[in-house]
Every structure is written in C-alpha cells, then in structure tokens.
Amino acid sequence: MTAAENVCYTLINVTSDSEPPSEVSLKTDLEKGEIKAKTEALKKVIIMILNGEKLPGLLMTIIRFVLPLQDHTIKKLLLVFWEIVPKTTPDGKLLQEMILVCDAYRKDLQHPNEFIRGSTLRFLCKLKESELLEPLMPAIRACLEHRHSYVRRNAVLAIYTIYRNFEHLIPDAPELIHDFLVNEKDASCKRNAFMMLIHADQDRALDYLSTCIDQVHTFGDILQLVIVELIYKVCHANPSERARFIRCIYNLLQSSSPAVKYEAAGTLVTLSSAPTAIKAAAQCYIDLIIKESDNNVKLIVLDRLIELKEHPTHERVLQDLVMDILRVLSTPDLEVRKKTLQLSLDLVSSRNVEELVIVLKKEVIKTNNVTEHEDTDKYRQLLVRTLHSCSVRFPDMAANVIPVLMEFLSDTNEAAAADVLEFVREAIQRFDNLRPLIIEKMLEVFHAIKTVKIYRGALWILGEYCSTKEDIQSVMTEVRRSLGEIPIVDNEIKKETGELKAEDEVSAAPAQKLVTEMGTYVTQSALSSSRPSKKEEDRPPLRGFLMDGDFYVAASLATTLTKVALRYVSIVQDKKKQNSFVAEAMLIMVTVLHLGKSSLPKKPITDDDVDRISLCLKVLSECSPLMNDIFNKECRKSLSHMLTVRLEEEKLSQKKESEKRNVTVQADDPISFMQLTAKNEMTSKEDQFQLSLLAAMGNTQRKEAADPLASKLNKVTQLTGFSDPVYAEAYVHVNQYDIVLDVLVVNQTSDTLQNCTLELATLGDLKLVEKPSPLTLAPHDFANIKANVKVASTENGIIFGNIVYDVSGAASDRNCVVLSDIHIDIMDYIQPASCTDAEFRQMWAEFEWENKVTVNTNIVDLNEYLQHILKSTNMKCLTPEKALSGFCGFMAANLYARSIFGEDALANVSIEKPIHLGPEAPVSGHIRIRAKSQGMALSLGDKINLSQKKANI
C-alpha cells in the first residue's frame, strides 16, 4: 500500500522555512526542560517523524521523562506521538519498550478524569497492533459503565474498531453492546452502539429496533439518522422486510430534524413506489425547501424533486403538488426560482394550469413595484417566459395572461418587455379570437412605451394586425400623438427660437436677492429655474427617439404606415377619404426624412433608412397589387412559417425527452425475478449510501467504454524511455476538480535505489496538493506513486518533473531522470450546454477575449467538418438542424459549451466550400472563439488547431 493510500488520522501543517532541530538538543529538552520546553520539544519530534525522520534514540527518553507527566497538553501530544511513531522492529516484531507504554495507557483508562479516559479510548481506535491492545481489554470493557457519556461513547467506538480489526480479542462484542444499548439513556452513546450493531451484527440491531419501533420519533436526530440507514440497508438486501419498517420511515418524515426528514424521504422513495409514499416524500422535500434558509440546501432538495419527476409513474403524483412547489417562489434567490419554475412547467397539465397561471400572474404583479433586489428584472423575465410557455401549450389560458403582461410593455427593463412582445406577437398570430383584445391593449399602452426596441416591435404588430377601419384610424391617431406637431423641423426650430425669446425676456426681469444664515447676499438668476427640463418634458416618445438619432424606428414607422394605408384603401370605398389617409401617411414619412437630413438630431439618418422610407413613399404613390401582396400577405406568411418551425422543433425536443424517460422493454429481454436473483447480480438496485460515500470521496465509478481496459490504456502517458535506469509511466485520472496521477516507477538496474523521489511541478492553473514521499526500490523492483493535483480553472495545464534517487553504496551525487511533460486536456472540463439566441448575443458582446482560428483541414464537406469540430471540442451547436440542412456553398453556426467551473465558451463557425477549386477542395473559413478568460479562449483555439484535420484511418 502506497503512502498516499494509507489511512491518515493526523494532519499537521508545518512551516517549510523552519530548520529541523538536532536530536541532542531535543533529548536535553525532553529530559531536563520545564513543562513548556518539553511540550515544544515533543511537538518538534512529532513534526520530524511526520516528515520521515526515524529518531529511535528518543523513544526511551520520552517513556522515562515525558510519559509519567500528568499535564493534559502533554498527554494529548503523546497520543499523537504514539499514533505515528514506528512500533515494530524491521522484521515486524513489537518493540520491547511498547510494553511500558501499554502499562501507562492501562492506567490512563482508569484515570479519574473523564477527558483523559475518553481521549485514550479514541487513540486506541487508531492502533493496529493487537499485542498492545490485548492487555487493555478489561479496562476498555470497564469504561462502558463509566458515569460520563463522553467515556462511554468512546468506549463503544473503541470496542467496535477492535472487534472489526481483531475479532478474537473481544468475540462477544455484539452481545455486550446490545446489552449496553438496552440500558443506555444518552443519545450519542446509543447512536454509536446502534451504528456498531448495524455493521457488526445486523440481526441484533433489528431485534433492538423491533422492541422500540414505536418510540423512534422520540429519539435524538443522530440516532434517527442511523435507524434510517439500517432500514435502508435491510430492505435493500431483503425486500420482503419493507412492509415491517415502512411505517417507521413515514413517522420519521415528521421528525424535527431537517437531516432526518431528508434521509427518510430519500429512503421512502427507494423502498416504495406507491403514490402515497411518493406524495409523502415529495411533500417532505417541499417543506424542507421552504423552511431551510440555506440556498445550497434548497437547490440540493430541488434536484431530488426533479429526479422524482424523471420517473414516469411519479410524475402524475407530483402534478397534484404543483401549487405546493410554487410556494418555493417566495425564496429571493434567482437560481432556486429558476429551477422551481422549470419544474412547475414540466409538471403542468390541463388539471392544474389555471391555478398555476393565477399564481404566476400574482408573482408578476408583485415584481412591478419591487426595485430593491437586483434580480427582480431577471425574475420578471423568467415569469414572462413561463407564462408564455403555458399559453402556447394551453391556448385557453392566453386570454387571461395577455392583459396582465401587456402592462409590462411600458417597463424600463427592456429584456422583460422584449419577452412580453415576443409572446404577444406569437399569440396574435396563433389565436385569431384574441386579436381584438390584443390590439385594444396595445393601443392603450402604446404611448407609455419607453424603449425604442419595444416601440419598433409594437409598431410592427399594430401595422400587421389592425384590420378594421376604426383600428387603423386609432393607429394613425397614436402615431400622430407620439410624433407631436408636424412638420417636425419647423416645429423644433420654432420651439428653439421661442425659448430664446423667452430667455431674453427673463434676463430683463429683476434678479432675486437672498440672504444666507451668515447674513451675506446670494444672487439667484430667474433664468436658471425653469428652462432645462422643458424641452425633455414636452417631447413625445417617438419624436424623442428621432431627435436622439435613432432612425431605424423611422423605417419601421414607414413600413407600418404603408401597411395600414394600403389596408385602409382596400376597406374604405370613398376616394376622398382614401387620398386623405394616404396623404397623411406620406406627410409623416416626408417630415421624418426632412428631420433626418437636417442638423437637429444628434445623429443624421443612415442611407439604409432613407432608402426604406423612399421605397414606402413610392409604394403608396403607385399602390400596385404586387406591392400590396408583399406588404400585407408575405410578411405574415414569413412570421407564420417561423412560428411553425419553432413549434416543430419544440415538439421534436419534447419527444426526444419523453423517449429518453420511457423505459423501453424489448420482446426478447430476459425477465428478472428479484427472489431468484443472486445478491451480486442485483445491479439495478445500487446502495445509495455507498454511492453517496464514494461520490464524497471522489471515487465515483464512471461508465467506461465498451472495453474498460482499452479506455484506461488511452490515458496512460509514458514519462521516460525504456533504456533509462528508471522507467516511469502515469495513468491520468481526471475527477472534476482534481487530477490523480498514478505513476508506475520501475527500477531497471541491478542496484538498490534509495530515496527515489518523484518531483513534480505544474504550469497553468494547477496546484500540487502534496509532495510524494521517497521510496526505496530493490533491483528490478517496481512501485506505484500517487500524486494529487488541484484544478482551478479551464485552461490547458502542463505537469512536468523528474525522478531523483541515490544508488546504494555509490559515492556519486544524486541521479536524476527527467520526465516527459503531461498535458492536461481542457476537454475533461468542458460540457455541452444550451442557451437562447438572445443570451448568446449578450455574452458575445460582453466577453472581451477573442481567438480567431483559421480553418486548415483536409475535410471537404461542410457538415462533416462541423460535426468533427463539435466532437473534438465537446461543444453544442445552437443553430437548428433545418438552418444547416441543404447545400449552398457556405455555412455559419453558433456553438456553446460550459465548463464545470461555470465558465462559458462561445464559438462562431463561418466556413465555405471553394467551388472554383474543384469538388475535392477542402473547407476554408474561420472559427471565432470568445470567452471571459484568456486561458479558456486560447486553450479552446489550440484544441481546434490540433484536431482540425481528420486522421486517415
């Protein structure tokens, strides 16, 4: 067993710059020093032994001069010293001096002070020499009857450890502890005793539990947790026992301890799939989420609920609890709210959708007046999206939702308003019966819209869907109201000149004199009090946008006016009215063009916007049927097509999800009878306690490839050559935040290599956790050395180093073998992820690090190249398949991934097929990578560069 795998109870931090003291000075301090000097000397001895020094000459000195002392600090240090000091001779026999130590500890086990007794019992748990423990057994047994619970509970632990390691020393331990448990009153002692019985003699533990099963709810939480573990283990091994204990688990769901409730709910779900059991467990989880203040706990328990939902039979039960789940929204944390809304949306059905919508509407209204929390805007956005999804899935709900949401179009938070607008656009296209209601609400809030992007969207919706004469006239009225008096340029110039005149008049007015507290005069100008805000207050919204130089909204306005004018012409038969309406629309466009060309706005109008407005003017002046079709029919067809495609994509993804969840059973699958299955074959039922323990220790068993040996061998890196005196190779095991290097070192010489040390150093965001300890290698012998490396962020890391050793009997300096570098692959930390187009664009704008990689490959097909990049970088393609299908000679796709450290990585692939170079010409183009950190962008770029070319098989 290597040093890294040895069980280590004691870890002591040592300052590396301190000089080790000499053995002689330590001996002097231990023999003749005061208590304080002896304490310091003993500490130094412990540190030196931990660092590999043997110090055999000090053993007898410590026994003679330190062991008899009664000082508590020294007694504590001695326990550490006896734990780490070598207790055997090189041939494995116990040192004679240890008999004296054993006698000293027998006295400590009978010491009147309960702390000394308890500490000694804890120390005995760590001893691995049965010869030392044998004389102490009567004293350990006697400690079970001590008056103090600290001594009794440690005595139970000592007996358990000794029974597990050396059963012959105390063969009647289970019986002894069972009798102790029956009479014991202290909760911690009972817990330790019961835990020992679970692992040493399960039948006795069950006998005890059977006698007190009705009192379990009165026990302390530490004992209740152990009882839950026992019930789980028993029912896991013997399913026929479930009926006997399931009531006990139900009772523990009402425990006052959150930990017990959590474990009991988890156990109940694994023991029974009955709807009542699932409902009780889910209810328990929901209560925990609401009552626990720690957000991490809330997220963990929410994950348990999400896992429950994944089971098809449990989903129906959880659907009845949607309203209870929504109580979690009272938590201010955005991540918790996000998961809760997603879970509620997954569980919504026609039975509970009405109640869900009522709750979400209330939540949306609540966010309207709350501004103190920074996540309020994001939360409102989440609520809007959830309501949007509900309305798409259950169209009957749209009529209730839309009036509430449309109030938020006038919101200052553009993101939430944009989501509302997207929802309204989809609803007005899908649900014909809601169009009059939406148009009416839109005209109501139109004047209050504050952001230009939302204004453009609202203009488009009104232009596209206003079909009655009254609605069209209302749109024109709202546009005129929002634009102010026209012509704009003349009006603005008049205002300016009017204000200048007013200023002249004001300046002639007498200046007001004010007297301060100190008696001095202050002069205040009458001019400064009224003027600055007047222009801003009077300006209507659309005019404000145009004066700021945002003429893209003017292009939208021109399109809207053209659509409504053409529709008005087709509805109204009166030629005079037709001409009057068209002339008004043209006047508005002309006055906007005039404003754009003048020097009044902050930025002049762009050529694109000029072309658009001019085109609209031409269309209105000619009124051709073709243009009428394009403006009033083709636009709507495009939107309809886009929404249909999106709906198909959603249905496809939902179908894939449901296919994943549905447990498909083939006709020729063997039938498994639990009663006939051997215990080692029960693969379907894994021990959850064991799995969670392994996960905590970082030993989770990953599912390897079809041939596990082949996949392991892929990760072996050769560090030295076959002709080197020391051959070394490393197996690199990446486990989330740390890397374990398992290095095989082989002595290829006929000499004994002493102090053979693996020295490692790292480059990048890697940190070596511990220095591997030196080894002695016999001729042609081999050994395994383990080294742990912590990873802090996603970037390529390099581990390099050498092996140094002394040759036994040689007078030369230390020998050194330099190792090859180990490259840590970034792909072990990157996982495919998905985000919306808006989030992608936002991150693309925010991330400052960009790496542009030129395509240099031998792949000739665009799609094949994209798939190759996705496979080699572990990224997900956000561009839908339909957009990538077909062949047009070029392709653009967005890729996204997230690291296990929460870092985002974006990539845009822009590639083309140079047809003029022939059909076998390789793909050309660029890949742009963006990330928040420089390391991530560079590492991903290096990875793409290395794997661009397809290997010839």
For residue range 844-898, what is the model confidence (pLDDT) as tens digits? Answer: 988 888 999 898 888 888 888 888 888 888 888 888 777 777 777 788 899 999 8
Nearest alpha-carbon partner for 796 in 832, 829, 818, 769: 829
Range list of H helices, 51-89: 59-65, 72-84
Nearest alpha-carbon partner for 42 in 62, 60, 22, 24: 62
d(CA 53, CA 45): 9
* Neighbouring residues of 421: CB distance < 8 A, sequence distance ≥ 6: 409, 454, 457, 458, 461
d(CA 879, CA 864): 15
- For 828-947, CATH number out of 3.40.50.720, 3.40.50.620, 2.60.40.1240, 3.30.310.10 equals 3.30.310.10
Nearest alpha-carbon partner for 923 in 915, 941, 911: 911
d(CA 377, CA 384): 11
Q: CATH classification of 713-824 is 2.60.40.1480, yes or no? A: yes
pLDDT in tens, 128-159: 888 888 888 888 888 888 888 889 989 998 99
pLDDT of 535: 45
pLDDT of 101: 82
**Residue whose tokens read 């009857």:** 145
Range list of H helices, 517-603: 534-538, 541-547, 552-571, 575-597
Strand partners, 822: 799
d(CA 908, CA 932): 15
Q: Are strands 766-768 and 753-763 parallel, antiparallel or unpaired?
A: unpaired
Residue 692: its H or E element = helix 688-697
Nearest alpha-carbon partner for 131 in 100, 89, 102: 102
| Contact predicate 158/118, CB 8 Å | no
d(CA 949, CA 873): 13
- Low-confidence stretches of the chain (pLDDT < 70) are 1-20, 52, 369-374, 411-413, 488, 495-496, 498-538, 628-629, 632, 654, 656-669, 672-712, 736, 793-795, 808-813, 950-953
The alpha carbon of residue 69 and the mean position of all alpha carbons in its chain are separated, in whole angstroms, by 54
* Neighbouring residues of 804: CB distance < 8 A, sequence distance ≥ 6: 755, 756, 757, 759, 814, 815, 816, 817
pLDDT in tens, 294-337: 888 888 888 888 888 887 778 788 888 888 888 888 888 888 88
What average pLDDT does the chain have?
A: 78
d(CA 798, CA 820): 10
Long-range interactions of 815-823: CB distance < 8 A, separation 24+ = 815/725, 817/720, 817/724, 817/725, 817/726, 817/728, 819/719, 819/720, 819/728, 820/717, 820/718, 820/719, 820/720, 822/717, 822/719, 822/730, 822/732, 822/741, 822/798, 823/796, 823/797, 823/798
pLDDT of 928: 92
d(CA 587, CA 621): 12
Range list of H helices, 256-326: 258-271, 275-291, 295-310, 312-319, 322-325
Burial-class residue 788 by CB neighbours within 10 Å (0-12, 13-18, 19+). middle
| Contact predicate 75/108, CB 8 Å | yes
C-alpha distances in Å from residue 57, one per residue of 54, 63, 132, 446, 895: 9, 11, 21, 93, 67
pTM reported for the whole predicted model: 0.67
Considering only the C-alpha atoms of the chain, give the largest distance between any 2 of them, rounded to a whole number of Å. 123
Strand partners, 61: none
